[in-house]
Amino acid sequence: MLPDLFSDESRNEVLGPGAAILGGFALDVTDDLIAQVRAMSAFSSFRNMETRGGKRMSVAMFNCGSLGWVSDRSGYRYDAIDPETGTPWPALSPLFLDLAARAADALGYDDFVPDACLVNRYIPGSRLSLHQDMDEQDHGAPIVSVSLGLPATFLWGGLERSIRPSRYRLVHGDVVVWGGPSRMIFHGVDELKNGDHPATGALRYNLTFRKAR
Ligand code: SIN
Ligand code: FE2
């Protein structure tokens, strides 16, 4: 790990072994990221998926990449086809791929090449309950997660659901990376508070990069 990554001036924060918040890491590309999210969502639109138990998620999602995370009454899976359009998900752009690789590299994860990016859209009141990212075949690769728009409270727990999570504030341009011994940590997002962000209005977007296969 680069020593200056955690200098006093940085807003970087260690979450655990192999896991950190990189404060403002994506700030120089946030406008382009948001423009690309909007353009892609004209093809594969945001939708509130159903869980296996039949509940609608309060976070709306679509994917880009050769694989996309899908939830319905049959459970969770990665699928190359968007079930709503019947066609492949939009491709992962060079901007997305480059940002994910640079953030992973900052934590010492070399050559991270994600094949899936879940795009989450939160409105005030949306939340994501504690979960592990466990539908990927390759748990050797890290998760890279980019925050855009309204601030959120990230919940960072332990390797068991019962461990009470710590709370971290994530703002526009922050990137969280977790892998290695922290790859299977339970995490989530607390109920989004009302607000108005210059880049997104009353929304928060999150890009979660994974290597699914
Ligand atoms: C996720 O765990 O998939 C999303 C995390 C976030 O929105 O910050
Ligand atoms: Fe997750």
Whether 8 maps to a domain, the answer reads no
Confidence of residue 8 (pLDDT cuts 50, 70, 90): low
Whether 6 maps to a domain, the answer reads no
Residue from 128, 150, 174, 186 to probe ligand 1 pocket by mutation (most atoms less than 8 Å from CB): 128
Q: Hey, how many other C-beta atoms are within 10 angstroms of the C-beta on 10?
A: 14
Atom of ligand 1 nearest to the CA of 187: 2
Whether 108 maps to a domain, the answer reads yes
Q: 116-122 and 204-210: which strand pairing?
A: antiparallel
Ligand 1 atom 7 nearest Cα: 206
Distance of CA 11 to the CA centre of its chain: 19
User: Is residue 3's pLDDT more than 70?
Assistant: no
DSSP state of 123: -
**Chain position carrying tokens 């880009």:** 64
CATH of the domain at 61: 2.60.120.590
Tokens of 142: 């890290």
Whether 71 maps to a domain, the answer reads yes
pLDDT tens digit sequence for 20-40: 999 999 999 999 999 999 999
Q: How close is the Cα of 3 to the center of ligand 1, in Å?
A: 27
Whether 2 maps to a domain, the answer reads no
Q: Biggest alpha carbon distance in the chain?
A: 49
Ligand 1 atom 6 nearest Cα: 206
Whether 164 maps to a domain, the answer reads yes
Is residue 128 within 6 Å of ligand 1 at its C-beta? yes
Q: How close is the Cα of 208 to the center of ligand 1, in Å?
A: 6
Whether 5 maps to a domain, the answer reads no
Count of domains observed in the chain: 1
Whether 51 maps to a domain, the answer reads yes
Domain coverage including residue 146 = 13-210
Of 4, 35, 45, 10, nearest in space to 25 by CA: 10
User: Is residue 6's pLDDT more than 80?
Assistant: no
- pLDDT > 70 in the chain, percent: 98
Tokens of 106: 């900052």
Tokens of 207: 């890009």
pLDDT tens digit sequence for 73-118: 999 999 999 999 999 999 999 999 999 999 999 999 999 999 999 9
Ligand 1 atom 2 nearest Cα: 188
